[in-house]
Structure 1
């Protein structure tokens, strides 16, 4: 089975970026405000919007997928019932066990809250995100108190979420509970994780909660992946679990794919933010919008799969402009609505350090 990690075409990456027009923050704010001010804009986001929360992008300058030696675990490897599949799961879940807490504890940044303000005021009725970190939900819920089912109605997680786990028979559990199961089954690794946290030596964490730890000389062979307790009640032994997200080599559920197309169709415009659109599941949404003759604007730093298409592109980090954009779009509401005031004053700006280990997963 041949599966590759999707990326931006080399012809685009090799192009001369000096030809991309540079804009000032003031001009970017003006152009984004003009695009958003009439509302009914569907938003498509990627890992770039979470960088200021300390979660690095997949394909940015220091992104894991820009390393040609990196090899993620594919869907068929993770769910394989053989001894080889068991070894893959030990590798995946140990790395995820160590890497999940920083993603779980991450806080929304200024871009997340600016977008939440635009959602709350109706300018962006629906948001489609490729991110699995749940930070859009955190930002929208923090000052509005909106229940989870309401958030799910307005935020579509195209690639799923890290915050839920399912066994191969479909039994779901929240990730914090599963993390507790992993700790109970692996006291040695719990101690190791606690010591890392105290020493401030947390390995480099990626957007999918994965970490690189081979350089530490660690073996995966003694890591225990617990059995599903619901399956055990039916006398079925089953330790095949996966986070509720889409792996490479796995298809997006039909209902998610169909809803993502409806979100594009229901909006008057499409704003694309913080993504190279390397994955086809996102790129085809942009193509669908263009086929429907909808205006499209892209806010992203660096080359993307959309370069050369008929859309307006602004090359500037979202964190530099989005708070001012939200203030400009919502107008007087930014000074009168207590919820919007809190949103536009909130958000961290703590991008990850760049000088960290980039060791790839070893094959085999």
Structure 2
């Protein structure tokens, strides 16, 4: 089976951006005008979470820009042979160490600004490629009574799943916090190692999918113990094959998610794409679908994307955190000062981009 990591074609990487340089005030005006009329669906990518300390996949410091990086593919993770077991040992050890930084990450100004647009119904649907749950966290923190679990599920579609839930191959689900405890109980030495990293703030480089760079630590995965599924055990079945609710390379997006992503585009008047190169086809096809339906599309991203040069796409080449609060104020107007929840949203958000280090 041949599966590869999606990337941008060299022609896209080499081409000059078709977007003209504009001032922040002009960018703010264009975005406010785009958002201010009609129902808008927003598609976000890893660039939105960079200011929360979570790296983008394909930026200058992105993990997938390293040609030597070899991710684990779906068919490898669920392989029932001894080889598959080794792949899972590698995956879950790295993910065990890498999940806490994602779990503890806080929404940044972009998450809260988009939350304000959702709260005021300017954004009718939000589709995210991110698996970190930070869009949900922003709404829950700012308006917990208005944004319960059901409304969050209706408002946000996680195109590639979430790191915060795990399931076994027989469909038994467990929250990630509990699964982390299972891993800790099965691997006390690695629990001590993780606790020491936490105490000394020496966490290894963490990537958007919770994977960490541990190549320089001399780690041997062979002694990592994979916990068995207790629900399977109750059914007289031994099973240690688990995966997070994340769509892996080589795995298809669930049909109901694909259908809903298309419907979200169809039900809106326009599409705004933020913080993504559109390297994965699951995201790029939503842009194509919007264009086929003759809907206006605006692409807001720093650097080249797969959508650059597409007829009908307007590009804003500027960091979102730089102007997004001004955009929201221009769109919402007086409601910013009249609604304390919105006012709080536009004052909230961390700005803690990851350090620029070498890729391990």
Q: Distance in 2 between matches of 1:342 and 1:308?
A: 38
Q: Give the 5 Å matches for 1:80-119.
A: 80-119=79-118
1:51 equivalent in alignment to 2:50: yes
Structure 1 residue 22, shift from structure 2 partner: 1.4
Partner of 1:276: 277
Give TM-score scaled by structure 1 length.
0.97
Partner of 1:189: 190
Residues 20 and 297 (structure 1), Cα distance of their counterparts in 2 relative to 1, 3 Å cut: closer
8 Å CA contact 1:39–1:124 kept in 2: the answer is no
Partner of 2:245: 244
1:14 equivalent in alignment to 2:25: no
Partner of 2:217: 216
Q: Distance in 2 between matches of 1:298 and 1:198?
A: 41
Q: What is the number of equivalent residue pairs in this alignment?
A: 357
Partner of 2:347: 345
Structure 1 residue 20, shift from structure 2 partner: 4.0
Q: Structure 2 unaligned segments of length 5 or more: list them.
A: none
Q: Distance in 1 between matches of 2:280 and 2:78?
A: 22
**1:55-100 residue CA offsets vs partner (Å, 9 max, x unmatched):** 0100011000011111100000000000000000000000000000
8 Å CA contact 2:19–2:314 kept in 1: the answer is no
Q: Distance in 2 between matches of 1:245 and 1:39?
A: 32
Q: Distance in 2 between matches of 1:335 and 1:350?
A: 27
Q: CA RMSD in A?
A: 0.8
Q: Distance in 1 between matches of 2:16 and 2:278?
A: 19
Q: Structure 1 unaligned segments of length 5 or more: list them.
A: 360-364
Q: Distance in 1 between matches of 2:277 and 2:132?
A: 18
8 Å CA contact 1:98–1:193 kept in 2: the answer is yes
1:175 equivalent in alignment to 2:139: no
Which of structure 1's runs of 4+ aligned residues deviate more than 2 A? Answer: none
Partner of 1:38: 37
1:120 equivalent in alignment to 2:119: yes
Equivalent position SS for 2:221: coil
Q: Distance in 1 between matches of 2:71 and 2:25?
A: 40
Q: Distance in 1 between matches of 2:19 and 2:151?
A: 39
Q: Distance in 1 between matches of 2:224 and 2:46?
A: 30
Give TM-score scaled by structure 2 length.
0.98
